[in-house]
């Protein structure tokens, strides 16, 4: 017989949970949680912590809304086995839009999402996000079938893109640091702001400063003294 129980304790290191039967109120300890995949060195992992229900209450939603319902069975000898999890009404991870994929971290609220058009976004509680696809940041509030709760704003993070020979780091406040073996850009390239170079500059073509060409500029002739500033 399959029955429903509320998860009251999680032991992620061994993949087991404690339950309370929602019909009888009988506690069930050390229930085995079946895996969604069969590999020993690959797969997904998401077993969040859950608070215990208030004393004397069985079932229902815990104060922070993170309670799970588990379907379990007593058919494996005398041991309960959790076959899967069902969601309470009001769960944030239920959406009205088809062809939408969302993975959300329970403790922080950080998530990744893939929109129906294939646009991919990874969002951090600081408001920092990385997106590949159409448009800018996508607000999921209207898509949630219940109430999508945006977590409290987290401190601005450090954003890092790195390979063995390259790194691009954006520190809190916006300071950018890059390290690389070599760098080649195909232009044109435009910079809005001052540029300081702490080494030599080599140009294979002409250099123009404020409209004056380095190759072709002229000066007013001077006898026995210094020439004038470039005249163009």
Cβ neighbours, 10 Å, residue 104: 16
Give the torsion sign (CA, 191, 196, 201, 206): positive
pLDDT value of position 57: 58
pLDDT value of position 58: 54
For range 83-105, the mean pLDDT: 85
Domains of the chain: 2-86 (2.40.50)
pLDDT value of position 44: 77
Q: Is 96 helix (H, G, I), strand (E, B) or coil?
A: coil
The per-residue pLDDT for range 176-200, each reduced to its tens digit, is: 999 998 888 888 888 898 889 888 9
Q: How far apart are CA 93 and CA 21, in angstroms?
A: 24
pTM for the predicted model, two decimal places: 0.71
Q: Is 141 helix (H, G, I), strand (E, B) or coil?
A: helix
Residue 101, beta-bridge partner list: 114
The per-residue pLDDT for range 1-53, each reduced to its tens digit, is: 788 888 888 888 888 888 888 888 888 888 888 887 777 787 777 777 777 66
pLDDT cut 90: percent of the chain above it: 28
């Amino acid at each position: 017989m399959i029955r429903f129980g509320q998860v009251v304790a999680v032991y992620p290191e061994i993949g087991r949970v404690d339950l309370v039967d929602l019909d009888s109120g009988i506690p069930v300890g050390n229930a085995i949680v079946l895996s969604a995949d069969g590999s020993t060195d690959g797969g997904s992992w998401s077993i969040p912590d859950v608070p215990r229900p208030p004393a004397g209450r069985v079932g229902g939603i815990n104060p922070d809304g993170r309670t799970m319902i588990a379907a379990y069975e007593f058919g494996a000898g005398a041991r309960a086995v959790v076959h899967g999890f069902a969601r309470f009404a009001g769960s944030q991870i239920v959406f009205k839009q088809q062809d939408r994929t969302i993975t959300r971290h329970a403790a922080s609220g950080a998530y990744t999402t893939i929109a129906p058009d294939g646009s991919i976004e990874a969002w951090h509680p600081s408001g920092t996000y990385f997106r590949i696809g159409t448009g800018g940041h996508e607000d999921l509030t209207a898509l949630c079938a219940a109430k999508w709760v945006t977590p409290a704003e987290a401190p601005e993070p450090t954003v890092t893109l790195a390979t063995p020979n390259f790194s691009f780091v954006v520190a809190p406040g916006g300071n950018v640091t890059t390290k690389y073996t070599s760098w080649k850009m195909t232009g044109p390239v435009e910079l809005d702001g001052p540029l300081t170079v702490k080494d030599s500059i080599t140009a294979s073509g002409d250099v123009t400063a404020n409209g004056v060409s380095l190759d072709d500029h002229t000066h007013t002739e001077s006898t026995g003294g210094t020439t004038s500033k470039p005249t163009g």
